[in-house]
Amino acid sequence: QKEVEQDPGPLSVPEGAIVSLNCTYSNSAFQYFMWYRQYSRKGPELLMYTYSSGNKEDGRFTAQVDKSSKYISLFIRDSQPSDSATYLCAMRSIQGAQKLVFGQGTRLTINP
């Protein structure tokens, strides 16, 4: 079993819809949780980062962490075609420096 599980999709939704992306994990030592966006033929870019449990909002994006359930989510409101990309969750422990453990990535398409 992988340390981080993420449904690879693909996920296709109409423009303007609310998108929910999720990951589960097994390592209770993980304290830092990130979401990366990766466009085709590009490297991953950091979208959101959360420390421990809670919510974080940045514009149309909201990240949620539920450590008790070992479950993290990314919500995208008012989705745009430009949001079409692969979304990767990643996490690490406090001692783990930047030894990030990534999920498989979910391929998202927003249809105009």
Partner 1 sequence: GAGVSQSPRYKVTKRGQDVALRCDPISGHVSLYWYRQALGQGPEFLTYFNYEAQQDKSGLPNDRFSAERPEGSISTLTIQRTEQRDSAMYRCASSLGEMNTEAFFGQGTRLTVV
Spatial distance between the Cα atoms of 88 and 107, rounded to a whole number of angstroms? 9
Which residues fall within 8 angstroms of residue 59, CB to CB, at 6 or more apart? none
* Closer residue to partner 1 in complex, CB, 82/99: 99
Which residues fall within 8 angstroms of residue 97, CB to CB, at 6 or more apart? none
Give min distance, CB of 97 to partner 1, in A: 4
Segment 59 to 98, residues that bind partner 1, using CB under 8 A: 88, 90, 97-98
Q: How far is CA 96 from the centre of its chain?
A: 19
- A 10 A CB-CB count for 18 gives 12
* Binding of residue 17 to partner 1 (CB under 8 A): no
* Closer residue to partner 1 in complex, CB, 15/45: 45
Pick the binder of partner 1 from 44, 64, 65, 83 (CB under 8 A).
44
* Closer residue to partner 1 in complex, CB, 105/110: 105
H or E segment to which residue 39 belongs: none
Spatial distance between the Cα atoms of 19 and 13, rounded to a whole number of angstroms? 8
Could you tell me which stretch among 52-60, 62-70, 76-84, 101-109 binds partner 1 (CB under 8 A)? 101-109
Give me the residues that bind partner 1 (CB under 8 A), please.
4, 6, 8, 32, 34, 41-46, 49, 88, 90, 97-105
